[in-house]
Structure 1
Amino acid sequence: MSDNLYSVLKTESVLKLKRSLLANPALLELSFDDLCDELHLSLVTTNYKVNTEVTLVMPKGATQELNGDTENCKLILQILPELTPAQATDERLWVTLCFSLFKGYVNERWPFKSSSEEKIQNHISSHWFANGVRGRMRDNAISRLWWMGYMAKNIPAFSVDKVFEILFFNSDYRSSLLERNSSANAINVTTAILKITDEAYTSGTPFKRDNFRNFMMKVDTLGGRSNLAAMDVDSLVRVLKPIYKEAYEVKVG
Structure 2
Amino acid sequence: MVAQLKYLSDKSLAQLKSGVTTNVARYRTDGFLEFTDDPGWNIGLGVEYDEVLLGTLDRATPRTIASIDLANSRIVGKALANLSPTLANEERVWVRLSHIEAFAYARDRWIGQAKDDAVPKLVEDHFFASGQTKIRDDHALSRLWWNYQIARTCNPDDPDEALSLILKTADIRSNFVERIWMTSRRNIATAVLGLMKSEPWVTDAEKNFRMFMKSLNRLGGGIVFEVLNTDEINLFLKDCLFHARTMA
Report what 2:24 is aligned to: 25
Distance in 1, matches of 2:203 and 2:70, equals 25
Structure 1: gaps spanning 5 or more residues = none
Distance in 2, matches of 1:60 and 1:159, equals 26
Report what 1:101 is aligned to: 101
Report what 1:90 is aligned to: 90
Distance in 2, matches of 1:80 and 1:204, equals 29
Distance in 1, matches of 2:218 and 2:12, equals 39
- Give the letter for the 1:128 counterpart: F
Task: Name the CA shift for 1:33/1:107 in 2 (closer, same or farther; >3 Å).
Answer: closer
SS at match of 1:59: coil
Q: Under a length normalisation based on structure 2, what TM-score does the superposition of the two structures give? A: 0.78
Task: Name the CA shift for 1:31/1:158 in 2 (closer, same or farther; >3 Å).
Answer: same
Contact 2:26-2:32 at 8 Å conserved across structures: no
Residue deviations 1:36-88 (CA, integer Å, cap 9, x gap): 899x95553323322324323333463444x3x33332222332231122221
User: Percentage identity across aligned positions?
Assistant: 21
Residue deviations 1:82-121 (CA, integer Å, cap 9, x gap): 112222111111111111100011122223454273x433
Q: Under a length normalisation based on structure 1, what TM-score does the superposition of the two structures give? A: 0.76
RMSD value, Cα? 3.4
Aligned residues: 243
After superposition, where does 1:38-117 map in structure 2 within 5 Å?
Answer: 41=40, 43-55=42-54, 56-60=56-60, 62=62, 63-65=65-67, 67=68, 69-115=69-115, 117=117
Report what 1:236 is aligned to: 233
Distance in 1, matches of 2:204 and 2:49, equals 42
Task: Name the CA shift for 1:236/1:122 in 2 (closer, same or farther; >3 Å).
Answer: farther
Q: Give 1:179 deviation, angstroms.
A: 1.3
Contact 2:175-2:210 at 8 Å conserved across structures: no
